[in-house]
């Protein structure tokens, strides 16, 4: 690869990473991967996906040359950033990124884990990669899915649907601490970023070592959505169709077409409220994890997310 990436937005999904990548792409000293989510370093998830489907269906970026295409629009001297939310969950990505560039900076955005699981489930239902539309039922299937049962046939890889495992933030972050050291890993609560965009954004620019006087027009990038017509949405998300389109088009054209298709296929909706009893149960279950995350990162996530002991 001609040039190395300088930093990675490693996750979590549904936690503001798309918005952050969009804001950073407007900075003249930064060039973000395009399209977003090359997922090049998550080789374990790629292998799991291939094994589950019996062939290559997802994770199309598999060679240095293909990865380099995501940065061909970059200018000399710009920092290169890869925004792939699966890296925080992948057990292999941290090590591969370190081998690629041991001086890379890592940004990990987190969200209240209960809200994260609920929102991720909604996204997967909209993308037709989750066939259990009821959130409570979907999380109850985790143990059977770990045994290879009840896995959605369109799943990118089975472990994506282990919602509780994905919310075990501390062990995911520990992998990056072990490789890069705490000083090179920035962990941000999405709720804190939204509360004070400019202050948090300047801290990120300072962490990356670029000018802090370039402030974007902060705005919401993602709103809650649902399909207009379910069967049409399912056809549009057929993976072979998306793969053919990607091969026939440039990355820019494909991404723009995908955005336009989403506008036609999806409509905005008010965020679905999680059943209070389900929220209470999951909060109790995840309280030890949030306590460990707070200890690990020296940030009071229990207070930020309302996980303090009653």
pLDDT digits over 66-84, tens only? Answer: 999 999 999 999 999 999 9
- In this predicted structure, the answer to whether residue 232 has a pLDDT above a threshold of 60 is no
Identify the pLDDT of residue 227: 63
Percentage, residues of the chain above pLDDT 70: 82
On whether residue 231 sits in a domain, the answer given is no
Tokens 């609920």, residue? 118
For the chain, what is the radius of gyration of the CA atoms? 19
Q: Which two tokens stand for residue 35?
A: 């399209």
pLDDT digits over 112-152, tens only? Answer: 999 999 999 999 999 899 999 999 999 999 999 999 999 99
On whether residue 210 sits in a domain, the answer given is yes
Residue 11 pLDDT class (50, 70, 90 cuts)? confident
On whether residue 91 sits in a domain, the answer given is yes
CA 132 to chain centre: 21
Percentage, residues of the chain above pLDDT 90: 77
C-beta separation of 101 from 6 below 8 A: yes
C-beta separation of 8 from 107 below 8 A: yes
On whether residue 249 sits in a domain, the answer given is no
Q: How many domains is the chain built from?
A: 1
- For residue 258, count other CB atoms closer than 10 A to its CB: 16
Average of per-residue pLDDT values in the chain: 89
Identify the pLDDT of residue 238: 64
On whether residue 38 sits in a domain, the answer given is yes
According to the 3-state scheme, what is the secondary structure of the chain?
CCCCCCEEEEECCCCCHHHHHHHHHCCCCEEECCCCCCCCCCHHHHHHHHHHHCCCCCCCCCCHHHHHHHHCCCCCCCEEEEECHHHHCCCCHHHHHHHHCCCCEEEEEECCHHHHHHHHHHHHHHCCCCCCCCHHHHHHCHHHHHCCCCCCCCCCCHHHHCHHHHCCHHHHHHHHHHHHCHHHEEEEEHHHHHHCHHHHHHHHHHHHCCCCCCCCCCCCCCCCEEECCHHHHHHHCCHHHHHHHHHHCCHHHHHHHHHHHHHHHEEECCCCCCCHHHHHHHHHHHHHHHHHHHHHHCCCHHHHHCCCCC
Burial of 219 (0-12, 13-18, 19+ CB in 10 A): exposed
On whether residue 178 sits in a domain, the answer given is yes
Whether pTM > 0.95 for this model: the answer is no
Rounded Cα distance between 233 and 137, Å, is 22
Could you list the residue range(s) of the whole structural domain that residue 159 is in?
7-224+270-305
**What CATH number did the domain enclosing 282 receive?**
3.40.50.300
CA-nearest of 94, 115, 222 to 166 is: 115
- In this predicted structure, the answer to whether residue 263 has a pLDDT above a threshold of 80 is no
Burial of 292 (0-12, 13-18, 19+ CB in 10 A): middle
Q: Which two tokens stand for residue 284?
A: 């109790």
pLDDT digits over 175-206, tens only? Answer: 999 999 999 999 999 999 999 999 999 999 99
On whether residue 31 sits in a domain, the answer given is yes
C-beta separation of 236 from 265 below 8 A: yes
Q: For helices 276-297 and 113-126, what crossing angle results, to 10°? A: 120
On whether residue 310 sits in a domain, the answer given is no
């Amino acid at each position: 690869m001609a040039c190395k990436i300088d930093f990675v937005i490693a996750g979590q999904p549904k936690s503001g990473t798309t918005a952050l990548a969009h804001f950073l792409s407007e900075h003249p000293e930064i060039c973000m991967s395009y399209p977003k989510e090359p997922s090049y370093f998550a080789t374990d998830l790629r292998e799991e996906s291939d094994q589950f489907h019996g062939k290559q269906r997802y994770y199309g970026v598999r060679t240095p040359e293909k990865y380099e295409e995501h940065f061909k629009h970059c200018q000399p001297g710009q920092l290169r950033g890869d925004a792939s939310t699966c890296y925080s969950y992948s057990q292999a990505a941290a090590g591969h990124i370190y081998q690629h560039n041991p001086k890379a900076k890592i940004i990990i955005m987190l969200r209240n884990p209960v809200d994260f699981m609920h929102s991720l489930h909604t996204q997967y239902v909209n993308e037709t990669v989750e066939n259990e539309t009821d959130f409570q039922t979907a999380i109850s299937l985790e143990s059977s899915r770990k045994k290879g049962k009840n896995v959605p046939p369109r799943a990118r890889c089975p472990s994506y649907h282990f919602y509780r495992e994905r919310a075990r933030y501390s062990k995911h972050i520990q992998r990056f601490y072990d490789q890069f050291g705490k000083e090179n890993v920035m962990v941000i609560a999405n709720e804190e970023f939204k509360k004070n965009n400019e202050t948090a954004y300047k801290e990120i620019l300072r962490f990356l070592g670029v000018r802090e006087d370039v402030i974007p027009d902060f705005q919401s990038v993602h709103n809650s959505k649902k399909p207009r017509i379910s069967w049409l949405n399912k056809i549009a998300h057929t993976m072979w169709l998306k793969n053919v389109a990607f091969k026939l088009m440039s990355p820019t054209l494909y991404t723009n077409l995908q955005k336009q298709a989403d506008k036609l296929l999806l409509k905005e909706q008010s965020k679905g409220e999680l059943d209070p009893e389900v929220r209470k149960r999951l909060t109790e279950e995840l309280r030890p994890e949030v306590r460990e995350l707070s200890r690990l990162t020296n940030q009071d996530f229990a207070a930020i997310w309302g996980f303090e002991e009653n």
